[in-house]
Amino acid sequence: ELQPLNPWFTMTNDVNRDINTLVFSGLLKYNPETNEIEEDLATMQMSADGMYYTLTLKENLFWHDSTELDLHPVTVEDVLFTYRTVQDKDFPNPLLHQNFQGVEVEKIDEKTVRFKLDEPYRFFPSNLTLGILPERSFTGIPIAMLDQTLDFGFHPVGAGPYMFKGLVQTELSTEITLERFPSYAGPVHHLDSIVFRIFPDYSTLLSDLRNLHGVRLVPRNNEGNPLVPKRFRAVNY
């Protein structure tokens, strides 16, 4: 089931998490091939005692709603907004809120922020993979109401490799179309567009299998092997 597309509220939803990973970028990102946390929007330096993490934004970072006449750069203010909002007592996702308790976020300069921890925590960089959100998209919205921002959630603005193009509801599925963001500052992505189709159950998916190029989740047999339809092959991820 598709829920509003917002990285603040995707921790338990595979559908949203897959799409948000392409639409939004964090300061850092997880690489599933190396199992490492790597740079994304920013470079990182960690202090020798593991108490300070300094992140510096890369050059030429823009939000998807940028135009030639109205460039919308990713700024330190957007980073501060994203994380300080999570830390607010009224923030409506307690799991994510808990991850940033005891963390102080401060602006160093126009490109740099620093996270100060109460005590060393070597897995902290994984928390910095959270997708950054544009502050101006949430102007005037109370923090306690952020999980109800449907306008943004169904027409999201990110800084990731793919931008939201449209949502269509059909009799069989919900379709989300993403297009490659030409101003993305990261590595080149070679697919011009991607269509995600979200089905209510596996039997409905199978009824339209001829129109699919890949299936995200499949059932498994008693031996634990995936039940893959013909013309598909299983890939562990």
pLDDT for the residue 133: 97
Helix (H) or strand (E) run with residue 79 in it: helix 76-87
Question: Would you place residue 230 in the very low, low, confident or very high pLDDT band (cuts 50, 70, 90)?
Answer: confident
Average pLDDT over residues 81-99: 95
Question: Would you place residue 90 in the very low, low, confident or very high pLDDT band (cuts 50, 70, 90)?
Answer: very high
Helix (H, G, I), strand (E, B) or coil at 94: helix
Angle at the Cα of 193 (from 210 to 81), degrees rounded to 5? 125
pLDDT for the residue 98: 94
pLDDT for the residue 229: 83
Question: Would you place residue 11 in the very low, low, confident or very high pLDDT band (cuts 50, 70, 90)?
Answer: low
Q: How many other CB atoms are found less than 10 A from the CB of residue 215?
A: 17
Within 8 A by CB and 6+ apart from 231, the residues are: none
pLDDT for the residue 235: 85
Average pLDDT over residues 161-183: 95
